[in-house]
Amino acid sequence: MPGDRRSQRQRAVSELRAQGRYGPELRDVLPGFVGLGLAVLAPVVLLIWLHRELGRPGLVLGVAFLSAATAVGLRWRRQILRRRGGHYTPAELDRLSDGGLVKAAARMLGRDGWHVTDLSEPGAPRLYARDRKGREVDVAFRPAPTDTDEDAPEGAGSPAPLREVGRPGIDGLIRLVVHRGAYSRTDILWASRQGGVHLLDGAQLQRWAQGSTLDELGLPSAG
C-alpha cells in the first residue's frame, strides 16, 4: 500500500537522522546556496554598473578593486584557518585577551593531539587535556601583568600569585602554568619544590604557538 510505504520511508529517515547519517535538508543548505549566488552575482552586477557609468576605465577600476578585495579575503581566510589550526604569530598572541589566550591554548593542545576539556570558572581559566599516551595535564593561566603590577616592587606578586594558579590538582596530573611574561627566580624555586609543576613563560609560549610541541618545550612525562 502507498500509505505503508510512505510510513516505512518516514521511519527509515527518522532512524537515519537519529544516527546522524541522513543528509541535510533543503532548508539547511539553502542559505549557503543563496550566499554563494550573491557572492558570484554581486561582482558581475558591480562591473556592469561601473562599465555603464564610466565606460572602459570603470571596468578596469572594478577589476582592480575586485582583485585586491579577493587577495585580502584570501589572506584573511588563511589567517583564520591557521589560528583555528593552533598556530599564532607573536603579534597575534600579544593582541589576545586573557580569554582569547585560553582558547588559543586549547587549539594548540588540540593541534598536538591532546583531547581538551575547558574547566574554566569565572575568574579562574583552566583546561584539562589528555593525550594518546594517557598523560593528563591541568593547564592554568597566570594573568598578564598590569601597569600597577609592573611598577610594584619585586616579590609583591601578580594579581594571582603563582601558588594560586598552580595549586595542586588531582594526583598524577602534570600541572602547567602559562604566562605571557617571565617568571621570577622565586616563582621558579617555588615550582621546583612542588613536583609536577611546569612553568611556560612568554618565550616558550611563542615557540608553542609557532608549532613546537609541549614535549619539545620540556613538558615532564608524569606528574
Q: What is the pLDDT of residues 6-37, one digit of tens each?
A: 666 666 656 655 555 555 565 655 666 666 66
pTM: 0.62
Report, as an integer, the average pLDDT of 174-180: 90
Q: Tell me what pLDDT residue 200 has.
A: 93
- 140 has a pLDDT exceeding 80: yes
The alpha carbon torsion through 161, 164, 141, 206 (nearest 10 deg) reads 50
C-alpha 102/C-alpha 106 separation (Å) is 6
79 versus 219: which is more confidently predicted?
219
Q: What is the pLDDT of residues 66-115, one digit of tens each?
A: 777 777 777 777 777 777 888 999 999 999 998 999 999 999 999 999 99
Cross-sheet strand order for the sheet of 136-141: 115-118, 126-130, 136-141, 174-178, 197-200
Q: Tell me what pLDDT residue 36 has.
A: 63
Q: Tell me what pLDDT residue 149 has.
A: 45
Q: What is the pLDDT of residues 192-203, one digit of tens each?
A: 887 778 899 999
Closest CA to 126 of 112, 143, 149: 143
